Chains A and B, each alone.
Chain A
C-alpha cells in the first residue's frame, strides 16, 4: 500500500495568514493526488484534484502543487470558513489511501 504522510498534524493560524500543508507519498504517485476539506460532522469536500486542478466552485484561495512524492496545499489568506481538517489522498493505485489529516485551528 502507498502510505501518505501529512505534516503538520495540526496548526494554529490567524485570519489572513498564508497556510501551507504538505503531503508525502511513500512512492512516486506522479500527480495522482487529491485534497479534501472536512468540517466537524460533515462529509469531506473535494478541493483539488490531480495535484493542482481546482475543483469547480472552490475559492481560488486554495492551490495545490507538487508531483512525484511531495505535494503542497496552500491557503493564500486564511478565512474563518477555512478552519477545518484537510486530507490528501492518492489515486495512483488501489487501495486508495489518505493522509492522516491536518487540523487547522484558530490562533
Chain B
C-alpha cells in the first residue's frame, strides 16, 4: 500500500524559505490518476489546502498564499516538494502531504492516503 512521509527542517527563520519533501513508497508517483497535494494545519485550527502537482509537473495553488508557493515533483526519486517563501509566524503549522486521487467515473478527487505530518515552526 502507498505510504507518504514528510521530511524537512522543523524550524525556519522569519522571511526565509520553508522547504519540505514528501517521499512516496509502495507505489509509483507517476502511476494512475493522482495529484499530489500539500495541506497544512495550524495548532488547534482547521485544514488549509496549499496546492498540488501532477506527475507531468502541472500545478494548482491556493491563491490565498499568493506567489509564495512552489510545488515540484521528482519522478525519478518518487517524491514531491513544497517551497514557501517569505515565511512569517502565521505559517507555523503541521504540514501534511497527501495523494489526491482522481476518479474519472465520478469526476472528483479525494485525499487518501496522508503522510503523518511534520511540524514547522517559524521563529528566530
Interface residues of A (CB under 8 A from B): 1, 31-32, 34, 36, 42-46, 49-50, 53, 55, 87, 89, 91-92, 94-101
Contact = CB atoms under 8 A, between A and B. Distances in A.
A94 B108 contact: no
Interface string B79-116: 00000000000000000101010010010111111111
B110 A91 contact: yes
A48 to B, nearest CB: 9
A73 to B, nearest CB: 14
Q: Is the interface of A mostly helix, strand, loop or mixed?
A: loop
Contact of A91 (B98, B109, B116, B117): B109
Contacts of A101: 46-47
A37 to B, nearest CB: 11
23 contacts: A31-B106, A31-B108, A34-B110, A43-B96, A44-B111, A46-B110, A46-B111, A46-B113, A49-B103, A49-B106, A50-B103, A50-B108, A53-B106, A87-B47, A89-B47, A94-B60, A94-B62, A95-B49, A96-B37, A98-B47, A100-B46, A101-B46, A101-B47
Contacts of B60: 94-95
Interface residues of B, number: 25
Interface of B: 37, 46-49, 60-64, 96, 98, 100, 103, 106, 108-117
Contact of A36 (B49, B106, B108, B111): B111
A42 B114 CA distance: 10
A67 to B, nearest CB: 12
Contacts of B110: 34, 46, 49-50, 89, 91
Contacts of B64: 1, 95
A70 B98 CA distance: 26
B108 to A, nearest CB: 5
Q: Nearest 10 CB-CB pairs, A to B?
A: A43-B114, A46-B112, A49-B110, A95-B62, A96-B49, A98-B47, A34-B110, A32-B108, A91-B109, A50-B106
